[in-house]
Amino acid sequence: MQLSKIGEFGLIKKLRTKCKNIPPEILTGIGDDAAVIKQGNKKILITTDMMIEGIHFDPAFTTFYQLGYKFLAVNISDIFAMGGKPKYFFISIGIPKNYTSEDIDELYSGILKIAGEFGVAIAGGDTCASKKGLILSGTLMGSADRIITRSGAKVGDGIFVTSSLGDSAMGLMLLKSQMSDVRSQKLKTRNSKSLLPLIKKHLMPEPIPLKNTSKVTSMIDISDGLLIDLSHICDESRVGAVIYKNKIPISGELADTAKFLRTDPVKFALNGGEDYALLFTAPPDIKTTAFKIGEIVKSGRFIIDENGRKKIFRSEGYEHFKRK
């Protein structure tokens, strides 16, 4: 079967069924942001993420320093999504012939910068040549006292996000159109104050942990887009969701830029991805600085628009093999 038919998530689902011999110490295996392994009284978290040239990044748009920073940031985000603390990082790289040792040095400066910020130590890795494009694969270990999975959402819970969404997707669009598009050149001269934060959010996302997780019932980080990642919570928790378009937090920079481009900023928030904000569910009346955007219901997935109209949402966002 063509991979474009089943997509990344269809393939992972198939692999998950195939890899079903799971020993009892694996408390959470395939299907969450990180695996949870019980070792005595401790719970160890392990997550792994790749970044591939031409798929995840374009060296024309990023410095190696920024790339290194983002590479560890996306792994840290998965540990935060489980309510954990990141600790040890393993870095495997495939390097094409035309790269220099200075490029890799710069990459590591970016990795070490964020590693220092979050108390992560580099504990190993692997180094190979690559025929085409830079390949990065990172494995991050962490720990947590209270694990939060994707599967604990309850009917009646509120749905929350920890920060504004869509900035990264707009940042990427601006980067892609930077060289050629006259409109974006105009935009650039008009209000670079709005553009730079959006581009920075895309190139160097800052993962932020949720401080108080005691009442949180489920959590995921928004890496592929709000609708896809909320769908993962619905799938794993066997529940439905209703979200309100006008409650989705949008930054001033995104609103401003979208207005100039005559486009809907919420579209970037719903489908964009790479926000690395946390999406969680908890009793609706909890005290939190996060934004409440909807409720968990028994079944169905709905979005209420600004006129109060209810529409079914599909899990649109980034999925490997499905994009041209």
78 counts as binding Mg ion under rule CB under 5 A: yes
218 - beta bridge partners?
281
Q: How far is CA 59 from CA 98, 234, 269, 305, 324, in A?
A: 12, 36, 25, 38, 20
Q: How far is the CB of 317 from Mg ion (least distance, A)?
A: 12
| Per-residue contact string for residues 13-52; x = within reach of ligand ADP by CB under 6 A | --x--------------xxxx---------------x---
At 182, which helix (H) or strand (E)?
helix 182-190
| Per-residue contact string for residues 164-203; x = within reach of Mg ion by CB under 5 A | ----------------------------------------
Q: How far apart are CA 158 and CA 218, in angstroms?
A: 11
| Per-residue contact string for residues 57-96; x = within reach of ligand ADP by CB under 6 A | ---------------------x------------------
60-73: buried (b, 16+ CB within 10 Å) or exposed (e) per residue?
ebbbbbbbbbbbbb
Nearer to ligand ADP, 150 or 301 (CB): 150
| Per-residue contact string for residues 200-239; x = within reach of Mg ion by CB under 5 A | ---------------------x-x----------------
Sign of CA dihedral 166, 170, 171, 176: positive
Q: Which of 225, 252, 247 is nearest to 322 (CA)?
A: 225
Q: What is the CA radius of gyration of the chain?
A: 20
Binding positions for ligand ADP, 198-257, rule CB under 6 A: 223
Judged by the rule CB under 6 A, the positions of this chain that interact with ligand ADP are 12, 15, 30-33, 49, 78, 223
